[in-house]
Amino acid sequence: MSLEETKRYYDKGYIKYLISQNCQHREVFLRGFEHNYHIRPLKIFTMEGMDYTLDRFDFAKRKYHFFQSIAILNGARMEAPPNNLGKMSVYRKRFNEAFPSLLEGIDFVIDIDNDLIRLKYHNAWGVKRVVQRIEILRAIEQKEHINRVKAKWLLEEMIKREEAIELSPKQNLEKSHKIATAIKKIYDKLRLPYYIVFSGKKGFHIRLDWNDFPSYFKVVEKGVWMQQQKTIAQKIAKETDTTYGEDLDAIYDLRRVIRVPYSIHPITENVVLPLDDEQFKDFSNLDFSIDSVFKTVHLKNRTLQKHLGHEYPLWQDFFKKFLRKGFGKRT
């Protein structure tokens, strides 16, 4: 896919609308695909803001990873980034200092994103093996800043010693889908509202939006909630017979980011697409390339495709099941 096609995709009015709506009250981060070009933080709350971002950072000449924060911020108090990129470091420092006062909530996001390389005897590995694993993943998946010949040799040696198993992209997605299905069943049983978004490459993000949490829970201190997220994800991994940190992970750092729904993954050139029940069920038969998404998905006025759950979600049961504690009164 050419850069012109990417730019044409982002130039469509309804795509700009979808992205700007999803970025509202969140920090935006652009990371260059084939160059060391990182821009953070950005503010995109409107279609005009999206226009500015496309033009200012030259989407016609560069490919970007397009991320947004899981943290929800006070948009009215967020300072707009400077026009002069030379002043970004000063702006970033002010933003980082103001971040705690801007923070209003944090989504709970489970990241199901299996490595193409599966390790055996993980606990027995030393620092050297971990470094080798990182080198291999960078070489094969990111294709940057690494000697790919060396990495390929390392992988072959690891496979020979039966210390690693290389999965095909298809096997990887099938495993991710199986895990996502198990988590979806838990959420459906508890009647929770949630979103499932295909990450564009080899996994899914399953998100509980902070705005959907019951009001009695929102008095919990944000730092405590971040630690509780890890606990919940670890117990969900155990419940679904998967490995926390390998098969699934909780994005529980305040500054962590996820891919913006409806953006393009610059490596696979797939659309990062929110999925409804039918699309998730029929996932293996879908094509997420831009042309296919335009033909098969009605994107105009589309949303994040929230799985609505029930008028009375069982939040107390969720907290008791995965935190062994309740909060306030049942609603």
Distances from the Cα of 127 to the Cα of 71, 78, 154, 163, 166, angstroms = 32, 41, 15, 15, 21
User: ∠ at Cα 46 (28, 96), nearest 5°?
Assistant: 30
CA distance 163 to 229: 31
CA distance 273 to 261: 6
> Which residues 6+ apart lie within 8 Å of 134 measured at CB?
none
Secondary structure (DSSP) of 263-291: -B-TTT-BB--B--HHHHHTGGG---BHH
CA distance 158 to 164: 5
CA distance 248 to 136: 20
Under a CB-based contact definition with an 8 Å cutoff, are residues 196 and 274 in contact?
A: yes
Q: What is the per-residue pLDDT for 324?
A: 79
Q: What is the per-residue pLDDT for 297?
A: 93
CA distance 249 to 234: 8
State the CB neighbour count (10 A cutoff) for residue 235.
15
In 3D space, the residue among 277, 310, 322 whose CA is nearest the CA of residue 191 turns out to be 310
Q: Provide the whole-model pTM.
A: 0.83
State the CB neighbour count (10 A cutoff) for residue 243.
15
CA distance 183 to 225: 20
**Model confidence pLDDT, tens digit, residues 3-22:** 888 888 999 999 999 999 99
Structure tokens at 86: 């030379």
CA distance 72 to 94: 18
**Model confidence pLDDT, tens digit, residues 79-123:** 888 888 788 899 999 999 999 999 999 999 999 976 544 554 443
CA distance 128 to 222: 36
pLDDT in tens, the chain (331 residues): 678 888 889 999 999 999 999 999 999 999 887 666 788 899 998 999 899 888 888 887 888 999 999 999 998 888 888 888 788 899 999 999 999 999 999 999 999 976 544 554 443 334 345 445 555 555 555 544 445 555 556 656 665 665 555 555 577 788 899 999 999 999 999 999 999 999 998 899 999 999 999 988 887 788 888 889 999 999 999 999 988 877 788 887 888 899 999 999 988 899 999 999 999 999 988 899 999 999 999 998 888 899 988 888 999 999 999 987 666 554 4
CA distance 323 to 38: 37
CA distance 229 to 221: 12
H or E segment to which residue 91 belongs: helix 88-102
State the CB neighbour count (10 A cutoff) for residue 237.
22
Under a CB-based contact definition with an 8 Å cutoff, are residues 97 and 91 in contact?
A: no
β 71-73/64-69 pair status: unpaired
What angle, 0 to 180 degrees and rounded to 10, lies between the N-to-C axes of helices 222-239 and 169-189?
Answer: 110
Q: What is the per-residue pLDDT for 137?
A: 57
